[in-house]
């Protein structure tokens, strides 16, 4: 069954070689009680450790059931210890922070036996040693004899072939020693029991074979045996494995014995996570407020299609700084202008946008309004190039665009093409040129709304407004009274409005401090219908100069011929337009619709738009993201400190649990299993740390939100995203696992014999 061939064990130090066992040759029967005697230092315990695979032989071979162990690997020895050997130690070597039941069950767990199956086996073996009633107790709650019985039960639970007992009665009184020896004697009827002892009387009384060692050699053997079982079946070697949950359970029980230290460690390591969680909470809250602002305000920012778009191209070469070289650069070389050639087909395309996504569409046109105002017997031309006019969306009665974006201060909103509305700037400012055009004293600081609401203006056609003084030269007709009386169209200011505070229109239309007169788009259609075939329009089409500006060339005036014709009412195609979405979803749909127009079109034919909401969102997101990263970076410093501290704590735990490492190895635990036990401990600490961090963050957010409310007026800024909370707990676990990796690795490499000797 078990044979030792020429076994030598030599301990080597830097300058010394010591032979502990010298050419040992022994064979053992399947069931016998062998006692090994000898003075201290004779090699008894070394021989027992080599048989039990706690120590490796230097030379020779250990043969188990005809299987040589000469080429055994680490996992083979682990399986051998777990299934073939049962250890009974002088000092019991029980794990104090787990129950009697768990101590005995360990060997079964490492053998891969399920908990359901192992329960019956464990309770049966505890019954054999008379401890079935004590299975819930911890080892330190038992007497010495009872603890040795637990050790015996643990040795028997896997039904091993060999029981190795190292001074099993060394720590017991004489009465208890006899009880333990009787128990071991009974075990030897069915198993091979090898006992190391100094007590010759006990050996003579209970053992049926006595081997005496002296100076590492066999001095005598009372009943030698030569192995003749050549045909017996070879031992099959498998792998032992400690499950993750078993490792977790071991570590959890150990942690329970050090609750105070565990909590302080977890709390200290949670500080960095708390800092990051607070930063993310506040950042998350501000982002939510920004999103609310975007939904409430920026969703109404228009998509602007202007006559031209300035584009910045990528630089053609990379410039590397050099002390002795210059880099020639011109900003104009890096930008270009894209001209949006807006035609009627594009306007028709815009008008086909699904109206459920559009709040309003406003068009900006160059058309001149030929207006005359009257006060009593006085008449005055209103130069529309000097007074700001703006086109408002049509079908006001069908939408709430003006109501949502403007405050109605007096009168009513326009409902037809002949209604006008005065749009005030910030603080009710109005341009003096508007007041003067309406015959209102502009020198007064304050003007009543009643002086403006109801004011009428006459709109005059081109053919009445302009007269030809010579070929390709037109001037405004005189006198005003005749034109005023002749005009059939009266425009009336029906109301006064002002953009709401922090309104997108206030920013996009630049009405902050600038007043305008608004009219409906239908008015433009009337003007174009009346003027597109007028004499001045026909003359302007043929002329190379501007016919109503004293013969100025287009270049001198800085205008194109097309622009001048639009000013005279040749057509109603706008030079730019603003599309106001109803919400962000609508904006995305509109942008997708606009992009569809540009597909399959050449670059010059494309109509490029500007999405101001997107630009502002990206800017605010970049700023907020940058601030968040900086704050998290500062908080992360404490995470590094936490990792180092976890490493130190884990190392201390390794030192405290060195004997436990030896016990586990003696039961067949692999190095991986030992590492897993301590990794499980750091995982638990990391989880506790993460939970503490999230709990503390939620508590700290109460005063933080109160403080932020007093500083900013914003409620509930700090809001911890549940996803962030989960991620931070995972980070805490990963950090603690990382911090405990080296100590865990160190624990796995501990020598089992040395570990068992530690206290």
Residue 694 has pLDDT above 50, yes or no: yes
> How far is the first Cα of the chain from the last one, in angstroms, to the nearest whole number?
35
What is the pLDDT, as a whole number, of residue 510?
Answer: 44
Q: Is 337 helix (H, G, I), strand (E, B) or coil?
A: strand
* Cβ count near 448 (within 10 Å): 10
Q: Express each pLDDT in 17-43 by its tens digit.
A: 889 999 999 999 988 999 999 998 899
d(CA 45, CA 294): 79
Residue 332 has pLDDT above 90, yes or no: no
My answer on whether omega of the bond before 479 falls inside 30° of 0, hence cis, is yes
> Using 50, 70 and 90 to split pLDDT, how confident is the model at 315?
very low
Residue 266 has pLDDT above 90, yes or no: no
Q: Which CATH number fits domain 2-239: 1.20.58.1610, 3.40.50.300, 1.10.760.10, 3.30.420.10?
A: 3.40.50.300
Q: Please state which of the ranges 176-190, 332-346, 591-605 shows the lowest mean pLDDT.
A: 332-346
Residue 618 has pLDDT above 50, yes or no: yes
Q: What is the chain's mean pLDDT, rounded?
A: 83
Whether 44 and 38 have beta carbons less than 8 Å apart is answered as: yes
Residue 415 has pLDDT above 80, yes or no: yes
- Length of the chain in residues, anyone? 759
Q: Please state which of the ranges 130-139, 185-194, 377-386, 612-621 shows the lowest mean pLDDT.
A: 612-621
What is the pLDDT, as a whole number, of residue 686?
Answer: 85
Query: Strand 85-88 vs strand 162-166: parallel, antiparallel, or unpaired?
Result: parallel
Q: Express each pLDDT in 629-681 by its tens digit.
A: 766 666 667 667 777 777 777 777 777 778 888 888 888 888 887 787 778 88
Residue 192 has pLDDT above 70, yes or no: yes
d(CA 621, CA 590): 23
Rg of the chain, C-alpha, whole Å: 48
Q: Could you tell me the residue ranges of all domains in the chain? A: 2-239, 255-296+617-757, 370-534
Give the mean pLDDT of 167-172.
86
How far is residue 199 from each of residues 110, 146, 172, 214, 333, measured CA to CA in Å? 34, 21, 12, 16, 101
Query: Strand 456-459 vs strand 576-581: parallel, antiparallel, or unpaired?
Result: unpaired
What is the pLDDT, as a whole number, of residue 242?
Answer: 67
* Cβ count near 174 (within 10 Å): 8
What is the pLDDT, as a whole number, of residue 745?
Answer: 81
Task: For residue 262, count CB atoms less than 10 angstroms from its CB and return exposed for 0-12, middle for 13-18, buried for 19 or more.
Answer: buried
What is the pLDDT, as a whole number, of residue 633?
Answer: 67
d(CA 98, CA 471): 113
3-state helix, strand, coil in the chain (%, to 5): 50, 20, 35
What is the pLDDT, as a whole number, of residue 35?
Answer: 95
Q: Express each pLDDT in 49-82 by its tens digit.
A: 999 998 999 999 999 888 889 888 888 888 888 8
Q: With the CA atoms of 523, 529, 533 and 534 taken in that order, what torsion angle do they form, in degrees rounded to the nearest 10?
A: -40
Give the mean pLDDT of 567-573.
92
State the SS3 of 398-409: HCCHHHHHEEEE
What is the pLDDT, as a whole number, of residue 624?
Answer: 56
Half-sphere exposure of 622 (CA within 13 A, CB side): 6
Q: Please state which of the ranges 77-91, 283-297, 360-374, 482-496 shows the lowest mean pLDDT.
A: 283-297
Q: Express each pLDDT in 234-261 by its tens digit.
A: 566 666 666 667 767 767 776 776 777 7
d(CA 256, CA 110): 23
How far is residue 439 from each of residues 375, 389, 729, measured CA to CA in Å? 6, 17, 73
Whether 60 and 24 have beta carbons less than 8 Å apart is answered as: yes
What is the pLDDT, as a whole number, of residue 373?
Answer: 92
> Using 50, 70 and 90 to split pLDDT, how confident is the model at 512?
very low
The candidate with the shortest Cα–Cα distance to 578, out of 300, 167, 241, 226, is: 300
What is the pLDDT, as a whole number, of residue 531?
Answer: 94
Which tokens is 145 given? Answer: 């004899």
- The helix or strand, by DSSP H or E, that contains position 541, with its residue range, turns out to be helix 535-542
């Amino acid at each position: 069954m078990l044979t030792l061939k020429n076994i030598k064990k030599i301990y080597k130090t830097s300058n010394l070689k010591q032979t502990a066992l010298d050419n040992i040759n022994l064979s053992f029967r399947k069931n016998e009680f062998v006692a090994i005697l000898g003075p201290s230092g004779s090699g008894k315990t070394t021989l027992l450790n080599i048989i039990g695979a706690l120590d490796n032989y230097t030379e020779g071979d250990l043969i188990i059931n005809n299987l040589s162990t000469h080429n055994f690997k680490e996992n083979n020895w682990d399986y051998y210890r777990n299934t073939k050997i049962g250890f009974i130690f002088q000092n019991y070597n029980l794990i104090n922070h787990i129950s009697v039941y768990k101590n005995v069950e360990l060997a079964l767990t490492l053998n891969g036996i399920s908990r359901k199956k192992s329960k019956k086996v464990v309770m049966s073996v505890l019954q054999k040693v008379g401890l079935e009633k004590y299975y819930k107790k911890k080892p330190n709650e038992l007497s010495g004899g009872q603890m040795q019985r637990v050790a015996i039960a643990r040795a028997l639970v896997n039904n091993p072939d060999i029981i190795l007992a190292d001074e099993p009665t060394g720590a017991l009184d004489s009465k208890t020693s006899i009880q333990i020896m009787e128990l071991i004697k009974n075990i030897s009827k069915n198993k091979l029991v090898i006992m190391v002892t100094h007590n010759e009387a006990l050996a003579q009384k209970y053992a049926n074979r006595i081997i005496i060692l002296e100076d590492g050699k066999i001095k005598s053997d009372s009943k030698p045996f030569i192995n003749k079982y050549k045909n017996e079946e070879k031992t099959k070697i498998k792998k032992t494995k400690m499950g993750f949950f078993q490792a977790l359970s071991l570590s959890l029980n150990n942690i329970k014995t050090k609750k105070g230290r565990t909590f302080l460690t977890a709390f200290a390591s949670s500080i960095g996570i708390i800092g990051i969680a607070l930063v993310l909470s506040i950042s998350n809250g501000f982002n939510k407020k920004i999103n609310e602002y975007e939904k409430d305000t920026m969703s109404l920012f228009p998509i602007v299609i202007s006559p031209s778009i300035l584009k910045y191209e990528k630089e053609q070469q990379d410039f590397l700084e050099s002390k002795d070289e210059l880099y020639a650069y011109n900003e104009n070389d890096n930008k270009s202008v894209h001209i949006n050639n807006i035609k009627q087909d594009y306007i028709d395309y815009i008008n086909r946008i699904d109206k459920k996504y559009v709040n309003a569409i406003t068009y900006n046109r160059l058309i001149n309004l030929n207006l005359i105002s009257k006060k009593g017997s006085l008449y005055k031309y209103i130069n529309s190039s000097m007074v700001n006019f703006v086109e408002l969306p049509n079908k006001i009665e069908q939408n709430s665009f003006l109501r949502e974006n403007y405050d109605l201060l007096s009168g009513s909103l326009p409902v037809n093409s002949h209604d006008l509305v005065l749009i005030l700037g910030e603080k009710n400012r109005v341009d003096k040129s508007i007041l003067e055009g309406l015959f209102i004293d502009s020198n007064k600081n304050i003007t009543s709304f009643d002086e403006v609401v109801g004011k009428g203006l006459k709109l005059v056609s081109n053919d009445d407004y302009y007269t030809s003084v010579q070929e390709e030269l037109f001037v405004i007709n005189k006198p005003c009274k005749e034109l005023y009386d002749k005009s059939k169209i009266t425009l009336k200011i029906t109301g006064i409005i002002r953009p709401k505070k922090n309104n997108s229109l206030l920013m996009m239309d630049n009405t902050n401090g600038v007043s305008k007169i608004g009219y409906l788009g239908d008015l433009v259609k009337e003007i174009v219908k009346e003027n597109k075939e007028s004499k001045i329009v026909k003359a302007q089409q043929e002329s190379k100069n501007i016919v109503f500006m004293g013969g100025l060339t287009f270049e001198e005036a800085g205008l194109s011929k097309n622009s001048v014709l639009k000013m005279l009412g040749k057509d109603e195609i706008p030079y730019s337009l603003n599309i106001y979405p109803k919400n962000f979803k609508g904006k995305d749909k509109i942008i997708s619709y606009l992009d569809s127009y540009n597909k399959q079109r050449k670059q010059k034919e494309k109509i490029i738009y500007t999405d101001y909401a997107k630009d502002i969102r990206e800017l605010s997101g970049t700023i907020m993201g940058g601030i968040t990263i900086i704050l998290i970076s500062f908080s992360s410093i404490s995470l590094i400190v936490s990792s180092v501290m976890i490493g130190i704590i884990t190392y201390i735990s390794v030192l405290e649990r060195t004997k436990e490492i030896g016990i586990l190895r003696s039961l067949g635990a692999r190095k991986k299993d030992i590492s897993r036990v301590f990794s499980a401990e750091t995982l638990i600490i990391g989880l506790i740390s993460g939970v503490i961090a999230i709990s503390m963050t939620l508590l700290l957010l109460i005063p933080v939100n109160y403080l932020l409310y007093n500083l900013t007026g914003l409620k509930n800024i700090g809001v911890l995203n549940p996803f962030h909370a989960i991620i931070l707990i995972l980070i805490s676990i990963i950090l603690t696992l990382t911090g405990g990796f080296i100590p865990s690795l160190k624990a796995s490499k501990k020598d089992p014999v040395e570990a068992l000797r530690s206290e």
